[in-house]
Structure 1
Amino acid sequence: MSARHLSTDSPWLLGLLAAIVALGPLSVDMYLPAMPSMMRALGTDISAMHLSISTYLAGYAIFHLACGPLADRFGRKPILTAGTALFVVACLGCAQSDTVGELLIYRFLQGVGACVGPTLARTVTRDLFGPRRAARALSLIAMLMALGPAIAPLLGGFLLLVLPWPIIFIVLAAYALAMIVLLQTFLPESLPEQQSLHPLNILGNYGQLCMDVRFMSVVLASGLVYAGLMAYLSSSSYVYMELLGVPVQYFGFIFLTTVVGYMGGSGLSARLASRLDSHQMLMRGATLCTAAAGLMWLGGSLRPDSVAVLMLPMAIYAVGMGLVYPHALAIALAPYPHMAGTASSLLGFIQMGLSGLSAALVGQVLTDSAQPMLMAMFGCTFACLVLSRVVARDA
């Protein structure tokens, strides 16, 4: 079977794109259960472990600015292949790290390599499906992609029962190698028109995007809701396992509720895409996320020793994310078919920059209470709601 057989009508194409997109979240989700044991093995504290997420997100964010222009010039597949190969090398480096300093270096490189998967899979989707079908395709990809993060914390938790923490990164390296083989075999090259790599041309493209108030509003809105998620993810293993006493083998089941919520939201998003426009879906998702974050903050204040008051509203938050994210992407990328890679890169840079900042700030003040995490989540989602109203008003 060759790449030409994977048409836009093939479910295998969506499955492959979802598997490539999953590379990014798997890099965070799979090692969440290992964070407490890594903290002890490397002789460090929780703030340094938060930095291992923030440095990953920093690499992820920074390379976005080069990833899109490179893909707009040389094609999607070569950049996907090179970035994923770097990811493999960085995973093996993480596995052999003896100090937290080494780990942070390799996590930064892992973020650089991981960013090409989600960024260029979004770009390929925009290339192949066009502006009208992209929102539904992105929703279906998000629903399929969530299968990976659903399994990852569970697999990570059970692996840690019998093997030391480096096994997490070895498994991630094997997954990335499989992705290289599959994308070389089955993914068509979708670059519609080569763009210049001249610095002035690149700066001009980024300048055009930054001056577009509608583009920046929707990008910041999606970035803030993702930053709220990252505040939760970066703190969840410490909050649940260290503060609330959840055993490592059960952590993945708590996380599973979030993934199921995201899958449900993505499925609902795909189902409603033909009936409601993307601006309406964005507003509904932002409202749901803000309400869920408010419930978590209230519940965490009244019952700080309860797992359920965090876990159940987080599932609702994830449903809202499943509505926000694909439609925010569709709105942002629709006006820019000629530089979809650059637009996707700027979106990813802002999203991951906000997420890294959120994780780092929460890590600095997280001690014996989940309150910093909950306050950060509500602040991010409320700002997302305000920006979503701006986008919907200007539609």
Structure 2
Amino acid sequence: MNRAWWTLGLVVSSTIVGLMGTDLVLPAVPHLPEALGGDPARAQLVLAAYVGGSCIGLLGFGMLGDRVATPHLFIGSLLATAMLSLACGQAPTIGALIALRVVQGIVASGPAVFAPGIINAMFDEEGAVKAIGVLASIESLAPALAPIAGVALLALGGWQLSFEVMSGLAVVLAVLLAFTAKVPQVSRRRSGSFLALLGDLTFLRYAFSQAFVLGGLLVFVFGMPAVFVRVHGGTLTDFIVMQVCGIATFMVAANLTSRLVARMGAERVIAIGTWLAAAGAFAQFGYAVMGGRSAWVITALFVPVNSGLGLRGPPGFFRAILASHGDDARGSALVMLFVLGVAAMGTALVSPWIERGSIPVAGVALVLHALSVACLSFLPKLPEAGARA
């Protein structure tokens, strides 16, 4: 068991390296036009290119999981990430960096695809829900802490240092996984396909409900910095306080989930978490419609949304993997692709109206949370007996 948790720690750390591709590099983006040429708009493509590459990588690794051993793909992804990160740090122009970032995003998405399946292979249901809670808690810290580290790295060694640190961490983790841990084979189905999963209503129940809850939260998070500063006349400190409170409550809820699932069953915990998040989103929208601008009230109403996600996130993701019926890599890839897609589309819908305050942001978030509730209400559930004891 100790070895399993050591392996889990390395797996979680590997997924964080992938997340660093945006958050660690973010503080350097405004300085790229001076360093590499181009303009601020092209510099933003450095972020968009990585996200786009990640979407391609999710599908690619999902398919490769049927044909190549999980340890080889997992460690190979880390080594490829290390090489591409070094190459990014040596890019001579902004155009070259954008092109390299697409490839970097593709190769860096491997750990995120295989981590849930690895957890499924190492633990029983209670242990897996607990492990996914730990995974989600640590991953939730990355968007908050990585930009701070990025600022320090930028001051120490310029824009290249963030890429070099990412490369070094990827190499260290690859070596540790190869020589001190045993990465299990993720369950796979050679006859499986993405189309089969997309036609499975039970899988879609968990995948879409997960994507709508998390996507709704992300749309709100992505929109509120501009609302706080440009509309409410506040500062980024207001946003940081909201984020810290949200992350803290998410972590507490996510790490209580395994006990609640053992007592109440996974489906009930998923339902409670989904409805709690939706209630928080409804309260946020109601406060926005009433013209509310208090950062403290907005933060307080953000707490139930994060608590709800923390409760339903680990069992919801795990049951999505179970509902893929052995096609773990494709199932995990689709869930993450749905999350990215929902967050991107929701943010795009909000963007033209962002200077009208929190009503558009909270409104789109509420619609997404309502869709999550609808998924649980109308799509068939996985029988509790279908989960491993």
TM-score of the superposition, structure 2-length normalised? 0.81
> Residue 299 of structure 1: which of 284, 287, 290 is its match?
287
Aligned-residue offset at 1:384: 1.0
What is residue 276 of structure 1 aligned with on the other side? 264
SS state at 2:75 partner: helix
2:297 is the counterpart of 1:309: yes
Pick closer, same or farther for the CA change 1:133–1:162 going to 2, 3 Å. Answer: closer
Decide which moves more: 94-103 or 285-294: 94-103
Partner Cα separation in structure 2 for residue 89 and residue 367 of structure 1: 41
For the Cα contact (< 8 Å) 1:150–1:255, is it kept in 2?
A: yes
What is residue 232 of structure 1 aligned with on the other side? 220
What is residue 343 of structure 1 aligned with on the other side? 331
Letter in 2 for 1:323: L
2:235 is the counterpart of 1:246: yes
> Residue 177 of structure 1: which of 171, 174, 182 is its match?
171
Pick closer, same or farther for the CA change 1:182–1:329 going to 2, 3 Å. Answer: same
What is residue 155 of structure 1 aligned with on the other side? 149
For the Cα contact (< 8 Å) 2:227–2:358, is it kept in 1?
A: yes
For the Cα contact (< 8 Å) 1:149–1:259, is it kept in 2?
A: no
For the Cα contact (< 8 Å) 1:36–1:238, is it kept in 2?
A: no
Aligned-residue offset at 1:332: 1.5
What are the Cα deviations for residues 154-176 of structure 1, in whole angstroms up to 9, with x where unaligned?
43455567775555444434433
Letter in 1 for 2:15: V
What are the Cα deviations for residues 250-294 of structure 1, in whole angstroms up to 9, with x where unaligned?
865553222212211211212312112221111111112112222
For the Cα contact (< 8 Å) 2:230–2:355, is it kept in 1?
A: no
Partner Cα separation in structure 1 for residue 157 and residue 227 of structure 2: 23
2:3 is the counterpart of 1:14: no
Pick closer, same or farther for the CA change 1:158–1:290 going to 2, 3 Å. Answer: farther
User: What fraction of aligned residue pairs are identical, expressed as a percent?
Assistant: 22
Aligned-residue offset at 1:35: 6.4
Aligned-residue offset at 1:118: 1.8
> Residue 137 of structure 1: which of 131, 135, 151 is its match?
131
Pick closer, same or farther for the CA change 1:177–1:192 going to 2, 3 Å. Answer: closer
2:106 is the counterpart of 1:112: yes
Decide which moves more: 336-345 or 374-383: 336-345
Decide which moves more: 93-102 or 83-92: 93-102
Superposed counterparts of 1:198-209, under 5 Å = 201=191, 204-209=192-197
For the Cα contact (< 8 Å) 2:321–2:328, is it kept in 1?
A: yes
> Residue 375 of structure 2: which of 378, 384, 387 is its match?
387
Partner Cα separation in structure 2 for residue 231 and residue 40 of structure 1: 31
Stretches of structure 1 lacking an aligned partner (at least 5 in a row): none
For the Cα contact (< 8 Å) 2:249–2:306, is it kept in 1?
A: yes
For the Cα contact (< 8 Å) 1:280–1:392, is it kept in 2?
A: no
Letter in 2 for 1:374: A
Pairs aligned (count) = 380
Letter in 2 for 1:76: T
Aligned-residue offset at 1:86: 3.7
2:317 is the counterpart of 1:329: yes
Aligned-residue offset at 1:329: 1.6
> Residue 187 of structure 1: which of 181, 184, 189 is its match?
181
What is residue 387 of structure 2 aligned with on the other side? none
Aligned-residue offset at 1:339: 2.2
What is residue 386 of structure 2 aligned with on the other side? none
Partner Cα separation in structure 2 for residue 100 and residue 359 of structure 1: 25
Partner Cα separation in structure 1 for residue 28 and residue 293 of structure 2: 22
CA RMSD of aligned residues (A): 3.6
2:278 is the counterpart of 1:290: yes
Pick closer, same or farther for the CA change 1:57–1:227 going to 2, 3 Å. Answer: farther
Stretches of structure 2 lacking an aligned partner (at least 5 in a row): 384-389
Decide which moves more: 107-116 or 363-372: 363-372
What is residue 220 of structure 1 aligned with on the other side? 208
Pick closer, same or farther for the CA change 1:292–1:31 going to 2, 3 Å. Answer: farther
Pick closer, same or farther for the CA change 1:372–1:180 going to 2, 3 Å. Answer: farther
Decide which moves more: 351-360 or 255-264: 351-360
